[in-house]
Amino acid sequence: MEAVLSAGAGEFARPTQSTPPLTDLVEASLREFFASRAELVRSVGGGYADAVAALESFVLRGGKRVRPVFAWTGWLGAGGDPAGDQASAVLRAASALELVQACALVHDDIIDASTTRRGFPTVHVEFADQHSAQQWSGGAAEFGRAAAILLGDLALAWADDMVRESGLDHAALTRISPVWSAMRTEVLGGQFLDISNEVRADESVESALRVDRFKTAAYTIERPLHLGAAMAGADDALVAAYRDFGHDIGIAFQLRDDLLGVFGDPEVTGKPSGDDLRDGKRTVLFAVALQQADRTDPTAAALLRESIGTELSEPEIERLRTVITDLGAVDDAEKRIADLTERALTTLDGSDATDESKRLLRDMAVAVTRRDA
């Protein structure tokens, strides 16, 4: 485990020839966990093993493993010893965050009626296609959604199991318990705020930022860092610094995601460009554009309101991209990202985290806020 300190995680750092990237170690932990459940799953029968295999493929298919990497680096920064007897347990507990992520993505794709994820059919579409291919009775779409809901639930349940069985000592498990519980509550609350804003047509920037805070920032960066600090027994000052840093970089991460949801290249993102507009997402990007349009361009404001959440053609999406850009919303998002990143890095520099972890976290902050996928 000592080599993990310098191991890379995608674009976060470069591994040496003899050192596997941290992402590979996370995926190995996830494979081991799925293997540990195989006999129990097979005993259920009735196609359950095949369904769980689909979940495993979804979890292992890709992704940057952002959450485990932040948790691990937070642990290192709080004095965690990569050569110590708890290192493997910390890695397993951090890896469990990918199962929380899987739950969130599977359910989010159902809510948004998304058809692709990372260049593959979403889980509910995969099972609907299976239903159609087998010519089973009932509705294919309904079966697909039901199967995906259950697999998302299983991922969340197994995340808890993976932490409990990680090998962390009793003291560490006790310290992380309230943090883990808060994270689960926040991400589900953020998801509720997201769908609530859509049906209420809440157009405020403040509401959009609240969704970003709880749906993404908290469980992507802030709480993983908090979990890492708690596993290491960090003091309150470092926890507070981590959480402030995580909040700001997490919001910046989501603001970048908002831009990619409208302007991203589908070949890179793995999702159709403009989906956020079709899905009626009340993002900060959209809220800022609408706010400016209400002040200066009633025609653009009317277009935005009548277009959001509808089946938009590619030319209509392109027109909305132009309107959003001309209203200054893209420049506003880029400025917010830059300001949040600068504030976060100032917080990090003033913290008691180790110098090496500060370097890693700085690199990671830049990577997640400047990404193109």
Across all residues in the chain, what is the average pLDDT? 92
R_g of the chain, CA atoms, integer Å: 21
Give the mean model confidence (pLDDT) for residues 246-250: 98
Nearest to 230 by CA among 45, 77, 4, 349: 77
**Would the pLDDT of 84 be above 80?**
yes
User: Which pair of tokens denotes residue 354?
Assistant: 């180790």
**Would the pLDDT of 54 be above 60?**
yes
Give the mean model confidence (pLDDT) for residues 131-160: 98
CA 67 to chain centre: 7
Phi, psi of 120 (to 5 degrees): -120, 160
CATH 3.30.70.141 for domain 2-369: no
**Would the pLDDT of 16 be above 70?**
no
Does residue 346 contact residue 361 with C-beta atoms inside 8 Å?
Answer: no
Q: What was the pLDDT predicted at 1?
A: 45
**Would the pLDDT of 8 be above 50?**
no
Distance separating alpha carbons of residues 25 and 59, to the nearest angstrom: 14
Q: What was the pLDDT predicted at 13?
A: 39
The SS3 call for residue 311 is coil
Nearest to 198 by CA among 50, 34, 310, 118: 310
Residue 244 CB neighbour total at 10 angstroms:
19
DSSP 288-307: HHHHHHHHH-HHHHHHHHHH
Look at 95-104, 215-224, 265-274, 320-329 and tell me which has the smallest mean pLDDT: 265-274
Give the mean model confidence (pLDDT) for residues 219-229: 97
Percent of the chain with pLDDT over 90: 84
Q: pLDDT tier at 18 (50, 70, 90 boundaries)?
A: very low
Digit-coded pLDDT (tens) for 315-370:
999 999 999 999 999 999 999 999 999 999 999 999 999 999 999 999 999 999 99
Q: What was the pLDDT predicted at 6?
A: 40
Q: pLDDT tier at 14 (50, 70, 90 boundaries)?
A: very low
Give the mean model confidence (pLDDT) for residues 210-214: 95
Q: What was the pLDDT predicted at 373?
A: 73
Q: pLDDT tier at 9 (50, 70, 90 boundaries)?
A: very low
Q: pLDDT tier at 125 (50, 70, 90 boundaries)?
A: very high
Percent of the chain with pLDDT over 70: 95
Distance separating alpha carbons of residues 229 and 80, to the nearest angstrom: 9
Residue 87 CB neighbour total at 10 angstroms:
19
Digit-coded pLDDT (tens) for 128-142:
999 999 999 999 999
Domain residues of the chain, as ranges? 2-369
Does residue 292 contact residue 327 with C-beta atoms inside 8 Å?
Answer: yes
More confident of the two residues 233 and 63: 233
Give the mean model confidence (pLDDT) for residues 202-215: 94
Distance separating alpha carbons of residues 361 and 255, to the nearest angstrom: 19
Digit-coded pLDDT (tens) for 278-330:
988 899 999 999 999 999 999 999 999 999 999 999 999 999 999 999 999 99
The SS3 call for residue 120 is strand
Q: What was the pLDDT predicted at 138?
A: 97
**Would the pLDDT of 270 be above 80?**
no
Q: pLDDT tier at 20 (50, 70, 90 boundaries)?
A: confident
**Would the pLDDT of 81 be above 80?**
yes
Digit-coded pLDDT (tens) for 167-183:
999 999 999 999 999 99
Q: pLDDT tier at 118 (50, 70, 90 boundaries)?
A: confident
Q: What was the pLDDT predicted at 269?
A: 77
Q: What was the pLDDT predicted at 271?
A: 74
